[in-house]
Chains A and B, each alone.
Chain A
Amino acid sequence: MIWFLTIVLPLLAAFFAVFLPAGRRGSGFILAGAALPALWLGLVEVSGVTAPWFLMESHFSLDTPRRIILLLTAILWATAGLFSGSYLKDDARRGEFSFYFGLTMAGNFGLLISADVASFYTFFALMTFASYGLVIHSRTPSARRAANIYLVMAIIGELFLITALYLAVESAGSMLLADIPPALAESPDGPFIFLLGLIGFGVKVGAIPLYFWLPLAHPAAPAPASAVLSGAMIKAGLVGWMHLAPVGLVEWTFLSLLMVSLGFTAVFGAAIYGLTQVDPKANLAYSSISQMGVMTVLLGIGLYGDIPPELLLPAIALYAFNHGTAKALLFMGTALPAKVGGAWRILMWVGLGLGVLSIAGGPLTGGLWTKSLVKTFLGETSLPGAQTFMLLLKLSAVTTALLLSRFLHLLYRIKAPSGNVAPAFFLPWVLLLLAGGWWTMSPGLLPGELLSHISGAKGIMDFFMNLQKNWTAFWTISIGVIIMAFTLKFTHLNVWPTKKPSLPPGDFIHLILFAGAAVAKPLRKGISLLESGIQSIPGPEKIFYIISDSKRTSRISSAAEALLRRWEFVGIGFFIFFLILFLVLR
């Protein structure tokens, strides 16, 4: 029951929000309430169910990594829902927003709890297409453009995805997601199928080189939607990867190295590019790409085969959890500085600071904990170049800190309202801060063996009290923060743009669009020429009409008939007929 409620409640909420005035008014609570079953599933282990009547026989169940991510997702949707209720109070399209919000939520929950391909793909698609409505919400030209680029990329992703799924299901001979990784490990086509899936889900993850829609779309949406986009939905792609990846079963060095290097490219490239932005949300979006890079690296290690999946996958999930909550906190936080004033502002800054620290892996945060998971596995794997990667990972703390301190600075520039004011949506934000903080650092989410594998017998508190680790984290982050502060302080070093981004968000999409525009014009012209050409090609019936309708034809045929009517010609005909018949009768 709880499984179905998880999906059905958000759907009901969506329709409730759009059709009933009461639903529009109380949308915040309704949407938040709709996430509760998912929250329950995230916290409490419930045995899976089979729904033979749904799609092509559906199965719903959870495993540890997915439960962690479901919990994350549920928290984000609940708080974002609550947040949106007051954030969009005066928005004319509020009902519509809730509608798409609910649908997307249903898709997001559904894909996480699905254990078979069909329902997974169904909910994945629902989430993908419904979130279009969230991205385009403001209807500004830039939002429209972002949404449309998002849609095109999403469809491309879906196409790769469905191909991967066809092949995977065919080779597994089963619709169960759990059967796919072993089948891929066995199949000679396994790497190819996985590569297709890598691309298909890569769009959603924002992996290099498929990410460029993301810095456009995530900032375009209203703050709560950006939060779930960047915090929760982006993880759906990751979950997809985890479903396909035969972690611990294969040794695909090439794919492994590919993922790791793409991951690191994202980690650094996105972080550096993000510095050029002036919109804090674009900045965050690049940070998301960068952080997803880390998760890509982790999964890439898994493909090398020397880390058991039961250790690696929960670790990735936990990393995602930390990033998700923190990132959502920051995204929703972008709406705060203009509204929060006075004493509340302190709380706001603390929260934002914690969020930033957590993402960067700062001392005493969940980030430190999750990042050390990465380090552990990088240290354990025998993947070629693992040492270098370790170094790169350490370096990434600097770039992340740089990027996010830039983010804080961008927020800092926003003018605060006077007086001790806090909007209603400040409360869900604080709730998110608390919930995220609590669950990231609580050991309850992780399986015991992973816990002990990482922190040894001493337990997690000991880990957090480890001075050396905290110190390392502290100084690496400090480097970034100090560089930022330094450059801001000295004008001739202040290269940071203030009004317009020095490089446009979405980076090389512009190259693509530019090239596309150059190609598209002649292409479109060519195709429309072709189209008019095709239209002007007469079909068989047209050719017949031309012949039958022409005056000339009718003149010729009536002249011929007139000839046949003449007695002389009949006589000649008689004679000829006579002769031939005579000949053939002999």
Chain B
Amino acid sequence: METYQIYSITSGVLFVIGMGGVFLSKHFIKKIIATIIMGSGVFLAFVSFAERDALSFADPVPQALVITGIVVAVASAAFALALARRIYQLTGEESFTIEK
């Protein structure tokens, strides 16, 4: 099994785990962590594709993309955490109830 295949499969698994977490876990923080796991899967996929076509050097574009992606993901996660915290402060709720 080639390395990049391991990478790819792992990335896929991570993505699925993350997605499952987003949908199935209840707690806000768990959901947020799940999105981060999803993100990790995606970035891993990018990184794995950096080694393609038996190039002698790694494709720089995915690396650049991943860095940007991580920034975006971190920003989102931070924002989400801030929201979760604020919600907890205001209402004491830690998970989604059916709201309007």
Residues of A within 8 A of B (CB): 562, 565-568, 570-571, 574
Contact = CB atoms under 8 A, between A and B. Distances in A.
B90 to A, nearest CB: 20
A566 B24 contact: no
Contacts of A571: 19-20, 22-24
Main secondary structure of the interface of A (DSSP, over half): helix
A562 B100 CA distance: 9
B24 A568 contact: yes
B98 interface: yes
A567 B24 contact: yes
Contacts of B20: 571
A565 B96 CA distance: 10
16 contacts: A562-B98, A565-B98, A567-B22, A567-B23, A567-B24, A567-B31, A567-B96, A568-B23, A568-B24, A570-B23, A571-B19, A571-B20, A571-B22, A571-B24, A574-B19, A574-B23
A573 to B, nearest CB: 9
Contacts of B24: 567-568, 571
B21 to A, nearest CB: 10
Interface in B61-100: 96, 98
Q: Main SS of the interface on chain B?
A: helix
A256 to B, nearest CB: 90
Contacts of B96: 567
Nearest to A569: B23
Contact of A566 (B19, B22, B31, B98): B98
B94 to A, nearest CB: 14
Contacts of B19: 571, 574
A567 B96 CA distance: 9
Interface string B4-37: 0000000000000001101110000001000000
A567 B23 CA distance: 5
A23 B22 CA distance: 98
Contacts of A568: 23-24
Contacts of A574: 19, 23
B15 to A, nearest CB: 12
A334 to B, nearest CB: 89
B79 to A, nearest CB: 19
Contacts of B98: 562, 565-566
B19 to A, nearest CB: 8
A574 B24 CA distance: 12
A25 B70 CA distance: 110
A559 to B, nearest CB: 10
A460 B45 CA distance: 132
A259 B57 CA distance: 121
A574 B23 CA distance: 10
Contacts of A567: 22-24, 31, 96
A567 to B, nearest CB: 5
Contacts of B22: 567, 571
Contacts of A565: 98
A571 B96 CA distance: 15
A571 B98 CA distance: 16
Contacts of B23: 567-568, 570-571, 574
A565 B99 CA distance: 9
A568 B20 CA distance: 9
Contacts of A566: 98
Nearest to B95: A567
A568 B24 CA distance: 5
A436 to B, nearest CB: 96
B33 to A, nearest CB: 15
A566 B19 CA distance: 15
Nearest to B31: A567
A327 B23 CA distance: 104
A568 B22 CA distance: 9
Interface string B28-58: 0001000000000000000000000000000
B83 to A, nearest CB: 16
Nearest to A571: B23
B50 to A, nearest CB: 27
